[in-house]
Chain A
Amino acid sequence: MSPSTPLPTPAAPPNVLTRLLRAREFGLVALLALVLFGTAALNPLFLSPGSVRDLLLNVSIIALLVVGQTVVLLMKHVDLSVSSVVGLSAFLTGSLFVANPGLPIPVALLFGLGLGALLGAVNGLLVASGQVPALVATLGTLYVFRGVTYAVVDGRQINASNLPPGFLNFGTGSLLGVPNLVLLVLAVMLVFGVYLGTYRGGREYYALGSNREAAVLAGIDVTRRTLSGFVLSGAIAGVAGVLYLARFGTVDATAGTGLELQVIAAAVVGGVSIGGGVGTLFGAGVGALLLGVMGSALVTLRAPGFYQQAIQGALLLAAISIDILVARRTARRLQMGRKR
């Protein structure tokens, strides 16, 4: 795979500062900074190393899942089944450790990756070959995968005492002060961010979502690309399941329930359009971080726990509303420019 040729630049490119200020992500980063420093001003403990570390750990699993979800959303599909994949992968990996206490961590990660890819392939085949709308297919597999998990778990539970200490240390440990999970998630985001942004394969996801007919005419293999997107989303959710197990240690049949909506919310707040073809991984990652920071800011400011969900919902609505208003203003400005 080779880097694609750059798009022809407009005649008079706006200078770097203007472009930076206009970027969708700039508003998000500014909002993030506002919440961070605003909260820290009210309660300095908010930016203490311990609480920052907790915050990052909490965000990392959502941020990882957002990578796969972004790829799927770019294609104008959606993957509702991720939370069930996380649950199944977490429990089966746990069972694997119970059976083989000496299992190396990379093998566990590979196991989650493979399992998730397999489950993702089911989604991909349903959507790409079976022509089942992604919302229907992944809502169906959300049930099926969760049902399989319940059947496999059969009322049991994996506890931290069943897991090798090395694995649990990996989940909570850190390298040079940065938690392992965060480093891993950052690496995945960086790799996929570059891939989606500059490589031909990555750009094809955008092409599929913005104009399917044009993508077909351009020679993109829609079936293969769709399939690969869902396999990717599944594989990432499988890895997230292993990390979930490492982070929390305790896993039962309900592990990960409801994550799918948080993940989609983070991607949408981060500017990934549900209508396909629009968005960046950087934005999606910032979206996940913003939702996480809001949550922990509310805890720090001693807002009653019951307010958090309401405020997160309101924030999501505000973010998508502002996004569409800005997009419309930009479109109008472009139109006016063309008329002149």
Chain B
Amino acid sequence: MKGVRGLLGWEATLLALVALALLGGGLLSPDFLTGQNLSFLTANFSEVALMVLSMTLLVVVAEIDLSVASMLGLCSAVLGVLFAAGVPMPLAILAAFVTGALAGLFNGLLVTRLGLPSLAVTIGTLALYRGLAYVLLGDRAIAEFPAAYTNFGFGTLPGTLIPIPIALFAVLAALFAVVLHATPFGRSLYAIGANAVAARFAGLQVERVKLRLFVLSGLMSALAGVVYTFRFASARGDNATGFELSVIAAVLLGGVSIFGGRGSVVGAVLAVFLIGLINGALTIVDVSNEILTIVTGLLLIGSVLVPNLLGRFQSFRQRRRRRGDAAVP
């Protein structure tokens, strides 16, 4: 596992790949590196990016939440239904956040109190929450939102080309990075992920920490749901279906170990940008969606496979060298 990852750091590799994607996109099309295009492109992955932050923390403690996209859909549905029923918008948004927190709490309670595997629990709630979103909205779409709010969704910061959701994401990403990498709470997450039993003996409240992370995951999905609803000016039961796979792909590509205890917010954020930029670069030169899907999958596999193979090659060479030394009289 040392290999390239130990020498360069996976984040540095990702950063180089992001630069390469920017450069490659610029070479492919002169329109790629325009502010307008990059602004549009980054806005396009703001929901996935938001959910990646909380997913990173969950995977660091060796849990997973497959229900994030369904929670997004449910919160979006709650927001839409309440607003359509005449509830003032701030209250409807608040209700969406309460819904997200409760959905996350339910996931967390099943995992921490009953001791169920989070993969199984969140496959169940993936169906349950999406189902509840359909129960609320059926196949209706609620689209009549006040301009003040939809401007938040697809507007940019005044005087710049930075999309408001991405500005929001940047602030939150910095916050998450500080919490994970520079606070005792953050360090305790690595301890829990590396060895939950040892962490418990060391006096960490493993269950309580995990419960909070699941609630956080619900809250971030709610935020992503609010952003999604306003960005597309549409609350539908099937909003963001399938996004969970993109979120998990970004987290794993970002170098966060699926077995817990390893990974960084910076890596995950870089991975989101990498996927988004490649996506945008290929789209602008009319490379079809299918190639992009293949590239995403290969990146995901390669991010784990390549360092593994390099590591094995290095240890093979070391062993041969050692054997060679021993053979010399």
| A-contact bits for B127-144, CB 8 A (1 contact / 0 none) | 111111011001000000
Contact A261 B296 (CB under 8 A): no
Total CB contacts across the A-B interface at under 8 A: 143
Flag whether A215 is at the interface (Cβ < 8 A): no
Flag whether A131 is at the interface (Cβ < 8 A): yes
CB-defined contacts of A304 to chain B, threshold 8 Å: 135, 138
Which residue from chain A places its CB closest to the CB of B70 in the assembled complex? A313
Given A133-B258, A147-B293, A308-B131, is A141 in contact with B117 using a C-beta cutoff of 8 Å?
A: no
Stretch at the interface among A34-42, A53-61, A108-116, A318-326: A318-326
A136 to B237, CA, bound (A): 28
CB-defined contacts of B120 to chain A, threshold 8 Å: 268, 274, 316, 320
Contact B308 A131 (CB under 8 A): yes
- Min CB distance A188 to B, Å, is 24
Q: Identify which of B130, B248, B308 contacts A309 (C-beta below 8 A).
A: B130
Which residues of chain A from 270 to 297 have any CB-CB distance to chain B below 8 Å in the complex? 274-275
Flag whether A192 is at the interface (Cβ < 8 A): no
CB-defined contacts of A261 to chain B, threshold 8 Å: 66, 123, 126-127
CB-defined contacts of A325 to chain B, threshold 8 Å: 114
Flag whether B301 is at the interface (Cβ < 8 A): yes
Contact A143 B121 (CB under 8 A): no
Which residue from chain A places its CB closest to the CB of B297 in the assembled complex? A143
- Min CB distance B146 to A, Å, is 27
Given A126-B305, A132-B305, is A306 in contact with B135 using a C-beta cutoff of 8 Å?
A: yes
Given A132-B301, A313-B128, is A151 in contact with B294 using a C-beta cutoff of 8 Å?
A: yes
Contact A143 B135 (CB under 8 A): no
Which residues of chain A from 111 to 169 have any CB-CB distance to chain B below 8 Å in the complex? 126, 130-133, 135-137, 139-144, 146-151
CB-defined contacts of B115 to chain A, threshold 8 Å: 324, 328
| B-contact bits for A314-336, CB 8 A (1 contact / 0 none) | 10110011001100100000000
Instruction: Give the one of A139, A309, A324 with max B CB within 10 A.
Output: A309
Given A150-B288, A307-B135, is A140 in contact with B128 using a C-beta cutoff of 8 Å?
A: no
Q: Identify which of A131, A139, A148, A313 contacts B125 (C-beta below 8 A).
A: A313
- Min CB distance B210 to A, Å, is 16
Q: How large is the interface on A (under 10, 10 to 19, 20 to 34, 35 or more residues)?
A: 35 or more
Flag whether A312 is at the interface (Cβ < 8 A): yes
CB-defined contacts of B296 to chain A, threshold 8 Å: 143, 147
A264 to B123, CA, bound (A): 8
Interface residues of B, count at CB 8 A:
47
CB-defined contacts of B259 to chain A, threshold 8 Å: 133
CB-defined contacts of A143 to chain B, threshold 8 Å: 245, 249, 293-294, 296-297, 300
Contact B114 A324 (CB under 8 A): yes
Looking at chain A's contact residues, is the secondary structure mostly helix, strand, loop, or mixed?
helix
Contact B308 A316 (CB under 8 A): no
Flag whether B110 is at the interface (Cβ < 8 A): yes
Flag whether B309 is at the interface (Cβ < 8 A): yes
CB-defined contacts of A187 to chain B, threshold 8 Å: none
CB-defined contacts of A11 to chain B, threshold 8 Å: none
| A-contact bits for B240-266, CB 8 A (1 contact / 0 none) | 001001001100100000110000000
Identify 23 residue pairs between A and B in the complex whose beta-carbon atoms are under 8 Å apart, listed by A's number.
Answer: A126-B305, A130-B304, A130-B305, A132-B304, A136-B304, A140-B301, A141-B301, A143-B249, A143-B300, A144-B294, A144-B298, A146-B293, A261-B127, A265-B123, A304-B138, A306-B135, A310-B132, A313-B124, A313-B131, A316-B128, A317-B110, A317-B121, A320-B116
**Contact residues of A with B, CB < 8 Å?**
78, 126, 130-133, 135-137, 139-144, 146-151, 258, 261, 264-265, 268, 274-275, 304, 306-314, 316-317, 320-321, 324-325, 328
**Contact residues of B with A, CB < 8 Å?**
66, 110, 114-117, 119-121, 123-132, 134-135, 138, 237, 242, 245, 248-249, 252, 258-259, 288-298, 300-301, 304-305, 308-309
Which 10 residue pairs spanning A and B have beta carbons closest together? A310-B131, A313-B128, A143-B297, A313-B127, A150-B290, A309-B131, A147-B293, A147-B294, A144-B297, A140-B301
